[in-house]
Amino acid sequence: MLTTTMSNFRKDIKKYFDSVTQDFETLIINRGDDTAVVIISLDEYNALTATQHELSSAANEQRLDAAIEKLKAGKGFGRKLKNA
């Protein structure tokens, strides 16, 4: 996680954006008066959104927990993908 000020962000915007997109860093820009902005990559945002959707209902959450437990117990199985 990176933290910077607005002034430093303005000076090195490309460097900060490269860190966020290439190194999967989260950037926090302090704006003063206890306010801040968080910048994440689009890939990270999409992953968070997908996770939020998957956990949006108790049924989905229970299904995912059950699948994780099966995998931990060695009861998983593999599938061959087409064209792989």
Contacts of 70 (CB under 8 A, 6+ apart): 76
List the chain pLDDT tens, one digit each, 84 residues: 999 999 999 999 999 999 999 999 999 999 988 899 999 999 999 999 998 988 888 998 898 899 999 999 998 888 888 875
For the question of whether the overall pTM of this predicted structure is more than 0.75, the answer is no
Strand partners, 39: 27
Rg (CA), the chain: 19
Coil vs helix vs strand at 33 = coil
